[in-house]
Amino acid sequence: MKNLQRTALSLAGLLLGACSPSPVEQLALAQQDFARQNYHSARILLGRALKEEPGNRAMLLLQAQTLLRVGDGEAALGVVERLKRAGLAPALLATIEAEAHLLRGHPESALRLLGADRSSDGWRVRAAALLMLGREAEALAAFRTGLAPGRDARLAGDYARFLISTGDYPEAERQLELMQRTRPQAIETLMLAGALAEARGDTAEAMRTYRTAARRYPWLAAPLVAQANLKDLEGQLDQAAQLAEVAASIQPDDSSIVDLKLSIYSQQGKWALIRRMLQPRERMLDPASGTGMLYAEALLRLEHSEHARAILSQAVIKAPNNRYARMMLGEAQLATGDSRAALATLRPLVEGVFVYPRELELAERAATMQDDPLAGRLRADRESGAARQRTALIEQGLAATAVSDWSAALRIWRQLQGYGEDAELLRRIADSASMVGQHELACASADKALGYQPGNAELLHLAGRVRLAGRRDLAKASELLAAATAREPANAHFRADLARAQSLTARGSEAL
């Protein structure tokens, strides 16, 4: 694999060095690379050709499109300005300029530039901009309108990925089947097939598909990143790290590759490396995000406890029902010598039946330091046979969930229910039941979980989502999802599910 990748990446250099092709020949080579989706090679060729013919419209236009494909909106805008100076009418550049603005995080500008553009690219960019603005219902309409005239692989692929993100696998499958009829070996088709297999829990099929994509497109990083993510989830960290390094050599500084490396480094305990990677971005990190909490954990492991505590305090304020954030804050409070605050933080985590061993350990330590009676109860509970059985079931259920074995997970959670109930256990029962099609159990469990924590946005979303998955009481689903979204308006998953519920409700029996 590595030899193929090195050959593909150096192809342009070998050709240039051997025969010193003219700008016209370099343009032809770039066009071939663009058609093969080897955008990085095309970018290099075009850059060299443009040094000799800086005003060549064909070269500039292809370079702008290439830069969009590699996600460099800033550079694409620079090329757009050069095209305008070369005499190309701004109206002909509107879609390219709109996508460049979108890549720079300016969806409003993208929509303004698109105007009434009704091309497939226009609808694709419009839908992406609407999603970025949280206007999911309008984005769905844009996808469907854009796809009505015919098949466009990029538009269909983006639509299908949106459907996967909302859990609408049957409709995503229909989109994939249409793509497979027209472009079965296109990278968009292969990657979508892998993503859908992965979402359905068939990781073996997903891995086979991603490997096929990597063999056919050795100059692209995406198939390698997808494989590495699967290896990461399976705990095969050395293989994941190797794949991530190859991907980084193809596409340096790609955010998905950086996130993948962070995940691997955290499991390997490379906290100093994580801190070095994230410290320059500290002011931009959301404390309640996965990356923000990972940075805080790195600080804690490196004995910067006060700094970690400050970040985790903000995380718990923003996401009070996030168990991981609360557990890490309790640990940081203990590390700073504040066992009283730690006990207050950790107590809610150990009051139910679903308790992680680390939560028990930290809470018992805090209670012992405070001479709180909770310490004795937790110690006795931890040492009992029932507690050991309960912990074993939790570990088995988590393992089944990790590999998407929902039937096994549901069986284990129902067994654990014999020890009692709490919101976390009921949440997991509802999730697993929904995944295996036991929709009545899913709805009843989600509603019961919500009864324990009526204002919990995650549980409101769950109660709406399982109704949506089972096509049960869509009006109620929309109501619950709207309530969840009102509590967390920035949550893209909440907004996407709400849009889908509202769309299905509006379409009525036709959608069913």
Which portions of the chain are predicted below pLDDT 70? 1-19, 506-512
Domain annotation for the chain: domains and CATH numbers: 151-220 (1.25.40.10), 221-268 (no CATH), 278-383 (1.25.40.10), 388-512 (1.25.40.10)
**pLDDT given for residue 94 in this prediction:** 92
pTM score over 0.75: no
The confidence score (pLDDT) of residue 316 equals 93
d(CA 375, CA 366): 8
pLDDT for res 3 = 47
User: Which residues, other chains included, contact 8 with Cβ-Cβ below 8 Å and sequence gap of 6+?
Assistant: 38, 41, 218, 219
At which residue do the structure tokens 């009102």 appear?
486
Residues 6+ apart with CB under 8 A from 148: none
Q: What is the dihedral of CA 308, 487, 166, 210, to 10 degrees?
A: -10
Answer for the pair 422, 352: CB distance below 8 angstroms, yes or no: yes
Q: Are the CB atoms for 430 and 329 separated by under 8 Å?
A: no
Residue 404 per-residue DSSP state: T
Beta-carbon neighbour count of residue 411 at 10 Å? Answer: 16
CB–CB of 505/482 below 8 Å?
no
- CA-nearest of 194, 197, 192, 114 to 151 is 192
The pLDDT of residue 390 is 87
**Model pLDDT, residue 127:** 93
Q: Which of 249, 221, 228 is nearest to 70 (CA)?
A: 221
- How big, in percent rounded to 5, are the helix, strand and coil portions of the chain? 80, 0, 20
Distances (CA, A) of 410 to 69, 92, 199, 313, 420: 42, 55, 18, 34, 15
Residue 5 in tokens = 């990748």
Question: Looking at residue 319, what is its pLDDT?
Answer: 83
Q: What is the pLDDT of residue 508?
A: 57
- CB-CB contact of 492 with 166 (8 Å): no
pLDDT score, position 59: 94
